[in-house]
Structure 1
């Protein structure tokens, strides 16, 4: 009798154990899913942080580029303003022959096309010529092409050259001048430009090479 009861209890016990095992498995499955969801959330959060940091760095880089460009533009404007403040035209007059080192232009005196390393500013003979900027007179000579020439060294390997000057009332060699000081008068001593109207031949040279005077003097 007792043996029969034990045999009847075995299925019930087995069923209870199965339910317990299933419950335990369910707990592990739920815990694993929760852990997976938490890990995914943390990964997404980390990815968002990295993405936000990358966006911030990219924004900062773009801002730096804009600031750099603004700084460059400002530097260029400052240089132009500085040039305009330091240099002025040696006299007033119409430019009758422009600077042209890339393309030959017609020279009436020689009746041929040649490059022109300066500009010719129309002015009556005897008109006073002024230093375009402060500097030291480093050369006074009679040039075979440009006639009587005065050269002023302004520092930083920059020279100004004044040709076709008269032989009288010239400044002295080695004299220190300020912008606007009279250094001579317009003459008719240039053999290469003798057939042109009365004018001053004016050049600027950087590191020994001719440069357009308009790069330093506004309006030329």
Structure 2
């Protein structure tokens, strides 16, 4: 082995080996020279510098005022309050009256005749009766009138009785609604109505006479009496009701 190495290093082999080494050293030095820091490219950093330029140097053109529409803020429109808003959720039930309405004729009351009162109504105090010459109550009013003066029904009703009373003479009694009853005494002997007749207010039922023996001293007059449920009431109150 040592003999072979000596043979190679001897003669021309030595020179060849030296040339290879020099070539290797030259190539390494060239690469070392080229592997240093490269010179900066002046154009490489230009975009970055332009991008980093301050924006204050760029002046934007003012917008066209005619092309810009003003922005009007929308305002909420209040809707009118509904009438139902004031109505509570549940209304109280109102009772309904199912009773049918029946038309009724007006209650017309008229005076049986026009004249002065010669004897007033009195059931609480005694008054003097000039015919009988004593003191007694008087359950009606005596209205002065000439004999033959027509007598009218004071209110609509039904003739319940026609009698010839010994003390009060010819007497007509008429029943009315509401428990009222009217009496017409000292009439002429023959009235113009009969028992059971239906009469209206202001209808003629007879004429003033002189048939009441108990009141002849008062002169010709109509004795007019009113009762309510059988109790005597003041005829003046009935006529003014």
TM range (shorter): 0.5 to 0.7
Q: CA deviation at 1:168?
A: 2.5
Q: CA deviation at 1:110?
A: 0.3
Q: CA deviation at 1:134?
A: 0.3
1:149 to 2:171 alignment:
yes
Q: 1:169 to 1:101 in 2, by over 3 A?
A: closer
Structure 1 runs (4+) deviating above 3 angstroms are: none
Q: Deviation string for 1:157-208 (max 9, x for gaps)?
A: 1100000000134311110000000000000010110121110000001111
Normalising by structure 1, what TM-score? 0.60
Structure of higher CA gyration radius: 2
Structure 2 gaps of 5+ residues are 1-105
2:16 corresponds to which residue?
none
1:199 to 2:184 alignment:
no
SS class of match (1:132): coil
1:78 corresponds to which residue?
none
**Counterparts of 1:191 and 1:170, CA distance in 2:** 22
2:161 corresponds to which residue?
139
Tell whether the 8 Å contact from 2:107 to 2:155 is kept in structure 1 after alignment: no
Structure 1 gaps of 5+ residues are 1-83
**Counterparts of 1:153 and 1:85, CA distance in 2:** 14
Q: CA deviation at 1:86?
A: 2.2
**Counterparts of 1:169 and 1:160, CA distance in 2:** 15
1:175 to 2:197 alignment:
yes
Q: CA deviation at 1:212?
A: 0.2
**Counterparts of 1:93 and 1:108, CA distance in 2:** 20
**Counterparts of 1:218 and 1:211, CA distance in 2:** 12
Using CA pairs under 8 Å that are at least 6 residues apart, name the structure with larger relative contact order, 1 or 2.
1
Tell whether the 8 Å contact from 2:112 to 2:154 is kept in structure 1 after alignment: yes
**Counterparts of 2:163 and 2:191, CA distance in 1:** 14
1:208 corresponds to which residue?
230
Normalising by structure 2, what TM-score? 0.54
From 109, 126, 132, the equivalent of 1:110 is 132
State the Cα RMSD in Å. Answer: 1.6
Q: Deviation string for 1:100-123 (max 9, x for gaps)?
A: 000011111001111000000000
**Counterparts of 2:208 and 2:150, CA distance in 1:** 7
**Counterparts of 1:133 and 1:161, CA distance in 2:** 11
**Counterparts of 1:195 and 1:109, CA distance in 2:** 5
**Counterparts of 2:151 and 2:184, CA distance in 1:** 8
SS class of match (2:236): helix
Q: Deviation string for 1:44-65 (max 9, x for gaps)?
A: xxxxxxxxxxxxxxxxxxxxxx
Q: Deviation string for 1:40-86 (max 9, x for gaps)?
A: xxxxxxxxxxxxxxxxxxxxxxxxxxxxxxxxxxxxxxxxxxxx962
